[in-house]
Chain A
Amino acid sequence: MQHLDDLPLAVDRRQMLIAASVGLVASIVPFARASTSDEVDAAIRDLIGNATPRDGGIALQVPETAENGAVVPVTVVVDSPMTAERYVRAIHLVATKNPTPGIASFRLSPASGRAQVSMRIRLAEKQMLLVFAEHSDGTVNRAAAEIKVSVGGCLT
């Protein structure tokens, strides 16, 4: 017989994360749909090296449609206890259809306390936002969200 106390805490956290993400954003899509160019693939390799990313473990809060592509709010929440032993050491954001794919990289530490960051980004046109989270054990999670853009924010 399994006691409730034996269940790993990570399950609770993950369930909370999934519940939160469903409430926040409807545009998270399977990563497989996020077709990428050679340039984007090269940018991703530069960021995460040879690691093989797994889907999930990341909640994205983004608008379904960005009225102004020059300032698109993005919040990334990664499932991690953020202890000295297990923490998220980096979060990378990549745009699939901007003139250049790089958005920003966040390097966190256990002192961050929570693997959650928000920023505002520029998007030129409707595209996929790709997010990669590197854990302290070297594993990498990934997530993607499609964002429509009313007025492009890169070249104007």
Chain B
Amino acid sequence: MTVPLTGRPRLKLPSVATVGEVVEIRTLLEHPMETGLRKTPNGQPIARDFLASFIAEANGAPVLNVDFRNATSANPYLIFHARISGPTDFRFVWTHEDGRSVDDVAHVDVK
């Protein structure tokens, strides 16, 4: 069973920051992250359904890149940081092993 990558990402980051400030960014995408190693109670293997990566960009430049492997929990939840050097358009992209992806954006203004 393949779950389409339509889950709405959840983002938490400040909408305003000062220049030079390092802001905390929290992201979560609902996804089962099936490793293909689990079985149903009847002994049937559960098909692999796994995200391969996450990318965070600020004004098009890379901030963070994450490769997910088997021991990443379901609904991957990440907390990381970014230094704000001016008004910033963030873009976050989750990509499945099969190439499907979902993205979201956020804007941080400066005081």
Are A156 and B38 neighbours in the complex by a CB distance under 8 Å? yes
B-contacting residues, A88-131, CB 8 Å: 93, 95, 98-100, 102-114, 116-123
Asked if A114 meets B81 with Cβ closer than 8 Å, knowing A104-B67, A105-B67, A154-B37, the reply is: yes
B35 interfacial contact with A, CB 8 Å: yes
Q: Is the CB of A111 within 8 A of B61?
A: yes
**Do the beta carbons of B82 and A111 come within 8 Å of each other?**
yes
Chain A residue total in the interface (Cβ 8 A): 35
Q: Please provide the chain A residues from 42 to 95 with a CB less than 8 Å away from any CB of chain B in the complex.
A: 70-72, 75, 82, 93, 95
Which has the most chain A C-beta neighbours within 10 Å: B39, B64, B82? B64
Which A residues are in CB contact (< 8 Å) with B6?
none
Residues in A with CB closer than 8 Å to B69 are 100, 102-105
On chain B, the residues within 8 Å of A75 by CB distance are 79
Contact status of A99 and B70, CB under 8 A, knowing A116-B80, A119-B77, A154-B35:
yes
